[in-house]
A = this chain, B = another copy of it.
Amino acid sequence: MNIGEIARRAGVSRSTVSYALSGKRPVAAGTRKRIQDVIDELGYRPNAAARALKEGRTRTIGLVIPPAGRRLSHMQLDFVASVVEAAAGADLDVLLSPSGGDHDRSFEGLVSGSRVDGVILMEIRLEDARVDRLRQAGLPFVGIGHTADDRPMCWIDVDYAGLIRHTVRHLADLGHRKAALINRSPELVASGYGPALRAREGFTAAVAERGLAGVEVACGEDARSGQETVEDLLRDHPGLTAITTINEAALPGIQRALGDAGLTVPRDFSVTGVAAHSWAEDFRPPLTAADVPALEMGQQAVALLIERIAAPSTPPRHILLAPPISLRSSTGAVPSRRDATAG
């Protein structure tokens, strides 16, 4: 089924059908109706490849996700879903591409095969070869996260440093004197993952600013690791009365370990951090935390990318989100008895 067949059946030329569809040239009402009837009857849709070839754009964007081996976090998942949704709203298809590991071929296909009009790049590292590659290819892209260097690029990120700093100040205000940062996985930290390093930065700064004792640990992204990490912390760091974290997947384990140690939150121990809304609400008691606005980020990322595709030579914009910290019930005044953590 192609445009010629529609034209033949409607008794008009191919260009008239094309113009009737695009509206870029006036078409007599009667003609238009005749064409539309045939289209409806046959369920015709223009061939995407032919259109892409002719127009020089694919109406498709690429979404580069972290490799499949590591499970995506809820936050990332919400993000993917909202990107797909926002793209659909703008009449854009979304091509998924894993990256990292042995998937360089897939990524290469995206950037050099004229497969997509632009790319959204998830999980950016402080030094990220993919960013260089995209820049070199001249393909419009938006990063979720930003690199360490200050070369201009278009990105949207959460201000992990600022938010973690904020949570530590909150803990200090409540009288806590010793706090731990439970960071993302050792692999991510080692690979220079931006949020992990920036969270560390914010933590270190706030701890110094307020004269707290601070300890930072990396932690696997699952409940079991969270539990072990907190068990270790409680054993090795007497006097610890609070945790802040950006590792949402560890939260159930953190909860479990505190419970096992006989610590009641927030009476005996305070927990806070940055997490997707649903994780914060699922904590018990509900977590005082900055809610990562994953859905909003997806929409904004698509909007930013559309903007860049339309005007690639414009100086790139970026957005640093600092969602407010929702005061829920997981933080409280430091316990009066210092040996509370002795369990």
A residues apposed to B, CB below 8 Å: 43-50, 52-53, 58, 60, 63, 65, 68, 71-72, 74, 77-78, 80-82, 84-85, 88, 93-98, 103, 105-106, 108-109, 112-115, 222-224, 252, 256, 278, 281-282, 284
CA–CA, A45 and B84, complex, Å: 26
CB pair A222 B256 closer than 8 Å? no
CB pair B252 A282 closer than 8 Å? yes
Q: Which of chain B's residues has its CB closest to A44's CB?
A: B112
CB pair A58 B49 closer than 8 Å? yes
Cβ contact of A45, chosen from B74, B109, B222, B252, cutoff 8 A: B109
Contacts of A109 in B (CB 8 A): 45, 93
CB pair B46 A49 closer than 8 Å? no
| 9 closest Cβ pairs, A-B complex | A68-B81, A49-B52, A45-B112, A49-B53, A45-B113, A88-B106, A223-B282, A68-B85, A49-B49
**A–B pairs, 29, beta carbons within 8 Å:** A45-B113, A47-B113, A48-B58, A48-B113, A48-B114, A48-B115, A49-B49, A49-B50, A49-B53, A49-B114, A53-B53, A60-B95, A68-B81, A68-B85, A71-B77, A71-B278, A77-B77, A81-B98, A88-B97, A88-B98, A88-B103, A88-B105, A93-B106, A94-B95, A95-B96, A96-B96, A224-B281, A224-B282, A256-B284
CB pair B71 A96 closer than 8 Å? no
CA–CA, A71 and B78, complex, Å: 7
Contacts of A105 in B (CB 8 A): 88
CA–CA, A268 and B320, complex, Å: 50
CB pair A222 B282 closer than 8 Å? yes
Contacts of A58 in B (CB 8 A): 48-49
CA–CA, A93 and B88, complex, Å: 18
8 new A-B contacts at CB < 8 Å, known A45-B108, A93-B106: A46-B113, A47-B53, A49-B50, A49-B58, A68-B81, A94-B96, A95-B95, A252-B282
Q: Give chain B nearest CB distance to A152 CB in angstroms.
A: 23
Contacts of A95 in B (CB 8 A): 60, 93-96
Q: Give chain B nearest CB distance to A292 CB in angstroms.
A: 14
CA–CA, A94 and B115, complex, Å: 12
Cβ contact of A85, chosen from B72, B98, B223, B281, cutoff 8 A: B98
Contacts of A103 in B (CB 8 A): 85, 88
CA–CA, A115 and B59, complex, Å: 11
Contacts of A222 in B (CB 8 A): 278, 282
Contacts of A256 in B (CB 8 A): 284
Contacts of A63 in B (CB 8 A): 96
Q: Give chain B nearest CB distance to A185 CB in angstroms.
A: 15
CA–CA, A103 and B88, complex, Å: 8
Given contacts A88-B105, A98-B88, A252-B252, contact A68 B93 (CB under 8 A): no
CB pair B84 A65 closer than 8 Å? yes
Q: Which of chain B's residues has its CB closest to A57's CB?
A: B49
Q: Which of chain B's residues has its CB closest to A284's CB?
A: B256
Q: Which of chain B's residues has its CB closest to A224's CB?
A: B282
